Amino acid sequence: MTKVIKSFPLVVVCLLVVSILFVSGFTSKKTDIVQNKYQVYLDGEEIGVINSKSELESYIDRQQTRLKSKFKVKNVYAPKGLDVKEVNTYDEKEDSVSAVYSKIQNRKPFTVKGYTIKIKLGEDEKTIYVIDDKVFKRAMEKAINAFIDKDKFELYLNNEQVAIKETGELIENVALEEDITIKEDYISVDEEIFQNEDDLTKYLLFGTTEKQETYTVMPGDTISTVAFKHKLNPEEFLIANPEFTSEDNLLFQGQQVIIGLIKPMFHLDVEMHVVEDSVKNYTTQIEYDNDMLVGEEVTKQKGEDGLDRLTKKIKYVNGEMVTVVTTNTLELKPVINAVLVKGGKVIPSVGDTSSWFWPTTQGYTLSSLYAWRWGRMHDGIDISGTGHGSPIYASNNGVVAEVGYGHHSMGNYVYINHNNGYYTVYMHMSSIRVKKGQIVARGQTIGGMGCTGSCTGTHLHFSVWTGYPYIGGTTHNPLDYLYK
C-alpha cells in the first residue's frame, strides 16, 4: 500500500517553526527595552539578580521569626558583606527572591540592630555586643559597685560628700583606665549578644560567661578560710558573692558559694583622701648586763603605744590598694619604748626568736597581707606609707645571706639568715646599706624603702621563711612573728 505524503505551503512551515521556538522558552534573550534590576553580592561574589531590593529585605525579615523571638527584636536584617547594586540591563534574566535568600542563609548569619562596645587599654581591646545599650550601662554600674561602696559613690557623683572634721575619708577621683566606645551597629547573630544585665555583669567581672565553680560550706567554714582554701583573697570572695557585705558575715552548712577567680575586664581607679588615727606601736629596747646570768631579764621601763593622726592619699585599682602616700603626720600622744635588760650578751649573729623588730618606721599602712590574691599566694606583707627612702631595719640579729637586684622581680633585695632556722626577706628597696656576709643587729638600718622591681608604689615587701627563701624554703605569716 502506498502512503500519500501531503505537501504544506512554505508560509505554514515558517509559522510552525516560530511557534516551536516560542514554546521552548528562550526568555533570556535580550530585548530592546532597558531593564532595571539588582545584582546581589555576598563578600564580593555575585549570587543572583533580583527585581527588587526591598522585596529581598522584607523576605529576610518575614522568614526569620525564630531570631526575632530569640533576641526580642522587631526586625532581622541581611548579613554583613551583602551588597545589592542597582543595574540597567537589556537582559530579562532574574532570580527569585526565595532562591537568593536560600543562598544567603546557607553562607552567612543574618544580623540584628544593636550596639557594639569596645573596651580598650593600650593594644588590648575587648568587644561586647548588646541589643540595648542600657543593658551595658546598668551592668557596668553593678560591676563598678563591686569595687566601690554604692552609697559613697553616689555622694561623690552628686557632690554631696561631708567634709572631714577630725577623721574620715573622701573620694577624690574615680576613673576607668580603659577607653570605652559605644556604637549602634548591625550585629551578626552568631556573636555572643547580651540581653540580660546580670549575665553581662558576671562577664565584666569574671571575663567569661561560663558557670563559675561553687563550693558547699562545711561546718566551721568562714569566709576567710574558704577564700584561702581556694586561692582567693577575702575581698575577691565578696566580689564573687555580693550577697555578703563583710568578711565577718557568717556561713551556714550546706550553703553554696562561688569560688571562681575574678578577672575584671576593666580597671577602676579610686583615689581617696583619708585622715585616720594610727596607733604608734612601741618597740622594746634591749640592754645587756654582764652581771646578770644569761637567760635572766628585767623590765627596766614599760612601753606605751603612742597615737598619730595621719593624712594619706590612697589609690585603689579594682579594690586593691596600690599606692599609699602619707602627706601629714600629727602626733597626738608620744610613744614610750619599753626597755628590757637581759643578762649576758647574745652572740650577735644568732637571732632571738622571742623578740622580732618591726622592719620600718611607725606611721605605716599594711597595704597587702599574707594571703591569696588573683589566684597567687602573696608570701609576705606589704608595708607602705612611711615614705620613699625611709629606713628599713633588720628584724633580728643575723648574717646577710644575699643581696642583689631583680630576682623574682624583687628590685633591690636583702636576705638575712638569723641562724636559728629563720630567714627574712626585704624587697623593692631604694638603697642597700649592707653586704653579703655582714653580721647585722636587730633594728640595724639595712637600706631604704623604695619601688624598685615589679611594684605599683613605694613599699616594703617583708617575708619570713624557714629554709632558704624560694629554694625549698617554707614561707610564714610575718605578723605571727613581729612581737613587740
CA torsion, ordered 336, 341, 342, 344, to nearest 10 deg: 130
Q: Quick one: 70 and 212 in the same domain? A: no
- Residue-wise pLDDT tens digits, 309-361: 999 999 999 999 999 999 999 999 999 999 999 887 656 788 888 889 999 99
Domain final residue, candidates 108, 138, 163? 108
Q: Quick one: 126 and 242 in the same domain? A: yes
Within 10 angstroms of residue 153's Cβ, the number of other Cβ atoms is: 17
Q: Is residue 12 part of a domain?
A: no
Q: Quick one: 104 and 235 in the same domain? A: no
Residues 416/437, Cβ–Cβ less than 8 Å: no
Q: Quick one: 337 and 434 in the same domain? A: yes
Sign of CA pseudo-dihedral 468, 472, 477, 481: negative
Model confidence, pTM? 0.79
What are the residues facing 479 on neighbouring strands?
A: none
Mean pLDDT check: name the lowest of 57-66, 127-136, 347-356, 429-438: 347-356
Within 10 angstroms of residue 40's Cβ, the number of other Cβ atoms is: 24
- Residue-wise pLDDT tens digits, 460-479: 999 999 999 999 899 999 99
Q: Note the pLDDT of residue 343.
A: 87
Q: What is the CATH number of the domain that holds 211?
A: 3.10.350.10
Query: Residue 99: which domain range?
Result: 30-108
Element (H, E) at 341: strand 338-343
The total number of residues written for the chain in this structure: 484
Task: Compute the distance between CA of residue 126 and CA of residue 119 in angstroms, rounded to an integer.
Answer: 5
Q: Which of 271, 300, 272, 304 is nearest to 288 (CA)?
A: 300
On the 0-12 / 13-18 / 19+ scale of CB atoms within 10 A, 378 is: middle
Q: Is residue 156 part of a domain?
A: no
DSSP 39-61: EEEETTEEEEEES-HHHHHHHHH
- Residue-wise pLDDT tens digits, 388-399: 999 999 999 999
Q: Is residue 253 part of a domain?
A: yes
Domain final residue, candidates 238, 258, 278? 258
pLDDT at 298 > cutoff 50: yes
Q: Note the pLDDT of residue 7.
A: 41
Q: Is residue 161 part of a domain?
A: no
Residues 306/278, Cβ–Cβ less than 8 Å: no
Could you give the number of structural domains in the chain?
A: 3
Q: Quick one: 181 and 74 in the same domain? A: no
Task: Compute the distance between CA of residue 369 and CA of residue 270 in angstroms, rounded to an integer.
Answer: 20
Q: Quick one: 369 and 405 in the same domain? A: yes
Q: Note the pLDDT of residue 31.
A: 58
Residues 462/449, Cβ–Cβ less than 8 Å: no
Q: Is residue 381 part of a domain?
A: yes
- Counting Cα atoms < 13 Å in the Cβ hemisphere of 371 gives 20
Q: Is residue 158 part of a domain?
A: no
Residues 194/116, Cβ–Cβ less than 8 Å: no
Q: Is residue 160 part of a domain?
A: no
- Residue-wise pLDDT tens digits, 362-390: 999 999 999 988 888 999 999 999 999 99
